[in-house]
């Protein structure tokens, strides 16, 4: 197989993408220790203690079909089909119009960063588990030292990172992309194709590679990959965070803030407590942020 050169960066795109069902995604997440509850065919993920959202949070649900994933004092929230019953919003950072993507659509500064990255990196599917467990682990440790990112941070232990890597690598429907430089694998991303959406779940790079625009290379490669798959209509990058610098990173590169009408089921007592003592969280939860 050969590399196909797209404008300004090499991206290995000749591997097939496989669509993942919601059930398969739930089974994979449970292998990582995520708390998943199934109710009448709907899979709910615990996003924080006593609070749940659907595993595929973009899919609208009908209120009459929803079976609560928890009892009081738990709470849950989901995107709604009947917007007249919505009492909150779910906010996401997303990409659409994937086929229209080009470097010319970016600012001069961002085009320059991608061209710089093209002289150092290429983006392709990760095809070697040992490489992921060794070089991928080094890049993760550098990422963690820089960010102290808490989610699944037990991967800083090498044996736990190895189990995480094996689980992903052995799943043919996990889309693992690697950024490769002169020293080997220096950046990793993981995505899943659910329904018409490419869900972007993991992205990290070593600090030195990041300074050399490896992140630009990986993001560009992801967009090229998604644009080449007719069944993918959009990319879900992340839930939106009020004033988040990562949100701004994506928005400056063509992403959009998408608001989905949602139903929040939270006790009156819970509303009062959150609004009084955790106003920022309350604002995010209700979608006002």
pLDDT band at 153, cuts 50/70/90? confident
Q: How many CB atoms lie within 10 A of CB 201?
A: 16
Q: Please write the tens of the pLDDT for every residue from 64-116.
A: 999 999 988 889 999 998 889 999 999 999 999 998 888 887 888 888 888 88
Which of 2.60.120.10, 3.40.640.10, 3.40.630.30, 3.40.50.720 would CATH assign to domain 4-20+94-257?
3.40.630.30
| Mean confidence (pLDDT) of the chain | 88
Structure tokens at 247: 């949100």
Q: Is 149 helix (H, G, I), strand (E, B) or coil?
A: coil
pLDDT in the model for residue 1? 33
Output the pLDDT for position 135: 97
pLDDT of residue 288: 57
**Distance (Å, whole) CA 188 – CA 133:** 11
CA atoms within 13 A on the CB side of 237: 22
Residue-level pLDDT at 2: 33
Which tokens hold the place of 83? 């917007």
What would the pLDDT profile of 105-152 be if each residue is shown by its tens digit?
A: 788 888 888 888 888 899 999 999 999 999 999 999 999 999 988 888
How far apart CA 190 and CA 201 sit, in angstroms, is 6
What's the whole-model pTM score?
A: 0.89
Top pLDDT among 9 and 99 is at: 99
pLDDT at residue 6 in the model: 43
The residue ranges of every structural domain in the chain are 4-20+94-257, 31-92+259-286
| pLDDT at 5 (0 to 100) | 40
pLDDT tens sequence across 260-278: 999 999 877 777 777 777 7
Query: Tokens 């693992």 correspond to what residue?
Result: 176
């Amino acid at each position: 197989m050969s590399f196909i050169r797209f404008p300004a960066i090499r991206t290995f795109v000749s591997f097939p993408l496989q669509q993942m069902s919601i059930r398969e995604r739930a089974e994979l997440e449970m292998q990582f220790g995520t708390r998943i509850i199934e109710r009448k065919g709907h899979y709910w993920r615990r996003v924080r203690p006593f609070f749940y959202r659907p595993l595929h949070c973009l899919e609208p649900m009908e209120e009459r079909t929803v079976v609560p994933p928890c009892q009081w004092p738990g709470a849950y929230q989901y995107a709604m089909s009947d917007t007249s019953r919505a009492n909150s919003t779910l906010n996401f950072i997303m990409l659409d119009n994937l086929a229209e993507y080009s470097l010319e659509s970016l600012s001069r500064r961002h085009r320059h960063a991608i061209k710089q990255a093209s002289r150092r990196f290429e983006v392709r599917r990760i095809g070697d588990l040992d490489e992921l467990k060794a070089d991928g682990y080094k890049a993760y440790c550098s990422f963690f030292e820089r960010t102290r990112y808490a989610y699944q941070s037990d991967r800083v232990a090498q044996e736990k990172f190895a189990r995480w890597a094996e689980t992903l690598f052995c799943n043919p429907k996990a889309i693992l992309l690697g950024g490769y430089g002169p020293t080997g694998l220096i950046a990793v991303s993981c995505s899943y194709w659910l329904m018409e959406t490419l869900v972007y779940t993991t992205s990290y790079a070593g600090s030195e590679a990041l300074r050399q625009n490896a992140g630009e290379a990986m993001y560009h490669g992801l967009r090229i990959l998604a644009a080449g798959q007719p069944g993918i209509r959009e990319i879900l990058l992340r839930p939106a965070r009020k004033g988040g610098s990562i949100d701004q990173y994506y928005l400056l590169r063509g992403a959009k803030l998408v608001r989905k009408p949602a139903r929040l089921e939270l006790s009156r007592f819970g509303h009062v407590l959150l609004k009084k003592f955790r106003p920022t969280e309350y604002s995010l939860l209700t979608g006002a942020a």
